[in-house]
Structures are given as structure tokens and as C-alpha cells.
């Protein structure tokens, strides 16, 4: 596409929550701890959407073009705020399946973009 | 969330393509017809990403806050350019399943957003 060098890359992955836990999941995400939001921002994440239909979540976010998702996630995981958040959210999630080697999450590739 | 009135709404839905057709799908989307891109823009779509992992597609796009996806899609479908594009893409797609009443596509709700 005829675009100038992009400053950000767009990443996406899918997660599944347990049956019947959708409304609770949504409620938790209407009141994410301010310190957790701050950690995500400081770690390099922006323009972060979570979409849900029933038990399927689709997460889309931006990081800097010269960063990597792995590096971003390591910065997040190094902070005890994240440990507390993930512990509190763990009951919602189904185990991850079909991961490829070295994948943390089932990552999607952006194959089309129109501004 | 403490944001000013948004000018756009973010929509998302999921599609499935037939096994083994991922690379062909990607190639087609690296060379979407200019008149098709123009039709999408004119019909009110912007910031449109398609993400793929194997046979699963996740499509995320923006429309004006005071528009509806149904109205946007009717404008697109009224144009013969779209008919030609959809006819050429039809062999890629698996039939839609689990649609709810009045749904065109399996729509997701944005349950979290962080700028």
C-alpha cells in the first residue's frame, strides 16, 4: 500500500472465556484498575480494543513499529500489578490451545488495511 | 470511560475461509481493486483491518458514530462493483453459521477500549 513508513504495528489475538462468564468479564473491563491501564500504556500498548461475542474474545492493539510483542509483554509481566490483575482474571479464561512454537497467544496477522 | 463524545464507532465480526485458501485470500487483499476501496470509503468505512490465522478471519472497522452497519452495508451492496467483488471472493468463504436474528455477520461487541 502507498503509505509512508508506519510508526506503529497492529497486533491481534484470540482468547476464550468460560461459558456464562461474559457479563462478568465485561463488567471487569469497564473498571480496569487505573494502575493496570497505566502499566499497559507505559509498556508500549495503545489503541487497545477487546471485542467479545459469547465466549470468544478478540484483542487488537498497537505497539511501536520498532518494538516486539514479546518485549512489551515481558515489561508487563515484570510488574506485580500485572500479577495481581492476571490472578484476579484467571478464573474467566479457558486454557490456550493450538499455540505454535514460542507463541504466548494465538496471534493473527493483519492481511489487509485501509485507512 | 472519561472520553469526549466519540466521532466513530468500532465494529468487528468474524468469518471463516475454506481450508488451504489462506494464501490466496491474502494475495487478493494485497491487490484489492481501487474502485472497491473507493466504494468502501465512500460508503462510510475507515480504519479497516482484516486479521487472519489459518481459516479464521477477524474484521475490524470504523463507521461514523451516527451511522449504522446496516446502512453502510446497504450502500455497499447497492453498487455493482461490490457484486463483482463478492462474486470473485465467494469461493473463499465458508457458509455463515450461528447468526442471530437480523444479523448479516457474527458481530462482536467492543467491551474495552484504551486509547
Percent of chain B with pLDDT over 70: 97
- The chain B residue lying nearest A1, using CA atoms, is B30
Using a CB–CB cutoff of 8 Å, tell me whether B18 touches chain A. no
**To the nearest whole number, what is the mean pLDDT of chain A?**
95
For B47-51, the CB contacts below 8 A with 24+ separation are B47/A114, B47/A115, B47/B8, B48/A112, B48/A113, B48/A114, B49/A10, B49/A12, B49/A60, B49/A110, B49/A112, B49/A113, B50/A110, B50/A111, B50/A112, B50/A113, B51/A12, B51/A60, B51/A108, B51/A109, B51/A110, B51/A111
Q: Are A52 and B107 in contact (CB under 8 A)?
A: no
The topology (CATH level 3) of A8-95 is Alpha-Beta Plaits (3.30.70)
Catalytic residue among A29, A42, A84, A104: A29
pLDDT of res. B92: 98
**To the nearest whole number, what is the mean pLDDT of chain B?**
95
Among candidate residues B87, B80, B13, B7, the one with its CA nearest the CA of residue B44: B7
Is the predicted pLDDT of residue A3 greater than 60, yes or no? Answer: no
Pick from B50, B53, B110: CB nearest A112: B50
What's the predicted TM-score (pTM) here?
0.93
How large is the ipTM? 0.94
pLDDT of res. A61: 97
- Is B29 annotated in the active site? yes
Is the predicted pLDDT of residue B111 greater than 70, yes or no? Answer: yes
CA distance A64 to chain B (A): 14
pLDDT of res. A113: 97
Percent of chain A with pLDDT over 70: 97
Read off the C-alpha cell for A103: 507463541
pLDDT of res. B5: 75
Domain ranges of chain A: 8-95
Using a CB–CB cutoff of 8 Å, tell me whether B76 touches chain A. no
The domain made up of B8-94 is a member of CATH 3.30.70.100: yes
- The chain B residue lying nearest A30, using CA atoms, is B112
pLDDT in tens, B42-91: 999 999 999 999 999 999 999 999 999 999 999 999 999 999 999 999 99
CA distance B109 to chain A (A): 5
Residues of A within 8 A of B110 (CB-CB) are: 49-51
Amino acid at each position: 500500500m502507498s503509505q509512508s513508513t508506519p510508526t506503529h504495528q497492529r497486533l491481534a489475538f484470540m482468547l476464550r472465556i468460560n461459558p456464562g462468564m461474559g457479563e462478568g468479564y465485561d463488567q471487569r473491563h469497564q473498571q480496569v484498575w487505573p494502575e493496570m491501564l497505566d502499566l499497559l500504556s507505559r509498556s508500549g500498548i495503545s489503541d487497545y480494543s477487546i471485542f467479545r461475542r459469547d465466549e470468544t474474545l478478540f484483542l487488537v492493539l498497537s505497539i511501536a513499529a520498532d518494538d516486539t510483542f514479546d518485549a512489551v509483554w515481558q515489561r508487563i509481566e515484570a510488574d506485580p500489578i500485572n500479577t495481581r490483575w492476571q490472578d484476579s482474571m484467571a478464573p474467566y479464561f479457558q486454557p490456550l490451545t493450538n499455540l505454535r512454537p514460542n507463541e504466548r497467544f494465538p496471534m493473527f496477522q493483519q492481511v489487509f488495511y485501509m485507512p
